[in-house]
Amino acid sequence: MKKDHLRIASVNVNGLRAAYKNGMAAWLEPREVDILCLQEVRAPDAIVRQLLGDGWHILHAEAEAKGRAGVAIASREEPLATRNGIGDDYFATAGRWVEADFRLTDAAGERVQLTVASAYVHSGEAGTPKQDDKYRFLDAMCTRLPELTKHSDHALVVGDLNVAHTPLDIRNWKGNLKKAGFLPEERAYFDRFFGEDIGWHDVHRTMAGEMDGPYTWWSWRGKAFDNDAGWRIDYHMATPALAASAVSASWTALPPMTPASPTTHPL
């Protein structure tokens, strides 16, 4: 894969069939994406391949529970290797993590390996088994990210990680301190991801700087979308070497992104 710039997009499609019914194909076509990472696919493998169409190499981890979760990586170039799942067998059929290795040629003409993971972290619910699963998954990420750094110094984890890291990432942060998605215990994991412990970079935050947002998810309740009372819970997390090569990052609306349908979150 040799290009001046590589474009990697991440989208929680909230059901791939619904996304395509609402115009995702028209949204995707002009963006010239090289690697497309999807979360909440919620469709059988045959449907995923039918909707995406020709020209893609597709890695899809369908959740064992029908109609739940599901993640995928679709690439224009064939990957060197692929892996499904994270941690122990507990998440083997959860449809929440897939990885693919690619061979790139950098600006200096050197051959480098790029590893990309598409991740969908549990939304959780404070004080319930759902939250326990979320912490178990985040623990697995704490183990996997350093392994990926050793595997390839150009590694990227993208997706819906269902945690707003700092008050800059959520409009109403004071009102959500005790709610899943902004719990101190959850945010501490991201301190590790982006701190000295693990040392990865939050690409969008680096590009955006110290500003509110840009948000990627809004509640259905009230007028959250109208008032931009959103959350930034979708990430491009990169190793230092890869983050240093990033040239831009942006959020774009997936149709029909309107006050009546405000929950999709593409990066």
The answer to whether 162 is annotated as binding is yes
Give the contacts of 209 (CB within 8 A, at least 6 positions apart). Answer: none
Exposed / middle / buried, residue 16 (Cβ in 10 Å: 0-12, 13-18, 19+): buried
227 labelled as ligand-binding?
Answer: no
Selection from 260, 214, 220 nearest residue 234 by Cα: 214
What single-letter amino acid sits at 39?
Answer: Q
Given a contact cutoff of 8 angstroms between Cβ atoms, the answer to whether 164 and 181 are in contact is yes
- Contact (Cβ atoms closer than 8 angstroms) between residue 72 and residue 48: yes
- Residue 77 counted as an annotated binding residue: no
Strand (E) or helix (H) holding 58: strand 57-61
Please check if 185 is assigned to a binding site. Answer: no
B/e letters for 243-256, b = 16+ CB within 10 Å, e = fewer, are beebeebeeeebee
Identify the three-state secondary structure at position 207: helix
φ/ψ (deg, to 5) at 120: -135, 105
The count of other CB atoms within 10 Å of the CB of residue 1 is: 15
Cite the annotated binding site for Mg(2+) by residue number. 12, 40, 160, 162
Cite the annotated binding site by residue number. 12, 40, 160, 162
